[in-house]
């Protein structure tokens, strides 16, 4: 960012040289006049004329020195202003960076980099509202990593963290650019797929399930393999809470059905009940 700086130094320099030239011109005219006056007036000693000339010359020198000092001070002030502007610009850039970092921490999960629970719920509310406005279906998939506690108990939490990050990376890799993926809590994830019908929801959930099952997480000398249960709900929801409840219920049925499977529910338009599939 460039800023216009004041230019008093150039103005003072112009005045300084202009005043000096004017003074020397005046001195050039005054000196002969003073000598002529001294010669024509016997009562006035010649040294008085010389003293007057010396006085005028001294005033000129003093004035020139004063203008020089003003120019130096103006230059120092200009440099000080520039330094302060640059300092303020740096501070502003640092504040913006800190603000962006704070926002990142407030909205994303620190381990996986996914949206955190608060933000994924907010995204769900926004997508439910858009689904209602545009009359398009909406799909939500709740995912739970099967027997995740065994990974932590057997290999430690460091291994568990790697498994969570690998699962998050798998989901992010397979969703569309306008889908939303968040860490809902612990080993649970929430996926929001706008514009996806019930048939598409089941197909996408099954693709995700197979990708998680095929993934391998390398921890030291051990390749860790996990599976996940999926509860999908699709349709035309009236609110986000009912969508979450339906997906959680479908996830519970998937766990009760032996885990590592997909259970889905279709939400009918208002006035008709949901259909488990």
Which residues have CB under 8 Å from 13's CB, separation 6+?
Answer: 67, 71
Which residues have CB under 8 Å from 276's CB, separation 6+?
Answer: 250, 253, 263, 264, 265
- Indicate the burial class of 160 (C-beta count within 10 angstroms; 0-12, 13-18, 19 or more): buried
Active-site residue identified among 122, 187, 207, 266: 187
The candidate with the shortest Cα–Cα distance to 254, out of 243, 263, 264, is: 263
Contact between 213 and 130 (Cβ < 8 Å) = no
Contact between 98 and 106 (Cβ < 8 Å) = no
Beta bridge partners of 223: 218
Q: How far is 121 from 137, CA to CA, in rounded Å?
A: 18
Distance of alpha carbon 159 from its chain centroid, rounded? 32
Which residues have CB under 8 Å from 28's CB, separation 6+?
Answer: none
Asked about 221 being catalytic, the answer comes back as no
Q: How far is 208 from 231, CA to CA, in rounded Å?
A: 12
- For the chain, how far is it from start to end, CA to CA, in angstroms? 60
Q: Which residues are catalytic?
A: 187
């Amino acid at each position: 960012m460039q800023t216009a700086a004041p230019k008093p130094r150039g103005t003072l320099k112009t005045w300084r040289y202009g005043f000096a030239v004017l003074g020397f011109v005046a001195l050039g005219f005054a000196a002969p006049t003073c000598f002529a006056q001294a010669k024509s007036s016997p009562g006035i000693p010649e040294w008085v004329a010389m003293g007057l000339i010396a006085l005028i010359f001294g005033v000129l020198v003093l004035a020139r020195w004063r203008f020089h000092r003003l120019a130096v001070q103006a230059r120092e002030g200009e440099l000080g202003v520039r330094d302060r502007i640059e300092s303020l610009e740096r501070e502003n850039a640092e504040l913006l960076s800190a603000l962006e970092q704070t926002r990142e921490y407030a909205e994303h999960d620190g381990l996986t980099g996914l949206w955190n629970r608060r933000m994924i719920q907010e995204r769900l509310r926004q997508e439910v509202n858009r689904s209602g406005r545009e009359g398009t279906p909406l799909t939500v998939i709740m995912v739970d990593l099967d027997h995740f506690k065994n990974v932590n108990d057997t290999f430690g939490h460091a291994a568990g963290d790697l498994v969570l990050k690998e699962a998050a990376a798998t989901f992010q890799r397979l969703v569309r650019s306008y889908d939303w993926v968040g860490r809902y809590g612990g080993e649970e994830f929430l996926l929001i797929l706008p514009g996806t019908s019930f048939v598409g929801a089941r197909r996408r959930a099954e693709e995700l399930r197979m990708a998680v099952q095929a993934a391998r997480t390398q921890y030291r000398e051990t390749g860790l393999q996990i599976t996940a249960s999926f509860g999908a709900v699709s349709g035309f929801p009236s609110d986000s809470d009912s969508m979450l409840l339906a997906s959680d219920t479908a996830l519970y049925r998937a766990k009760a059905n032996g885990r590592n499977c997909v259970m889905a529910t279709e939400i009918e338009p208002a006035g008709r009940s949901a259909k488990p599939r």
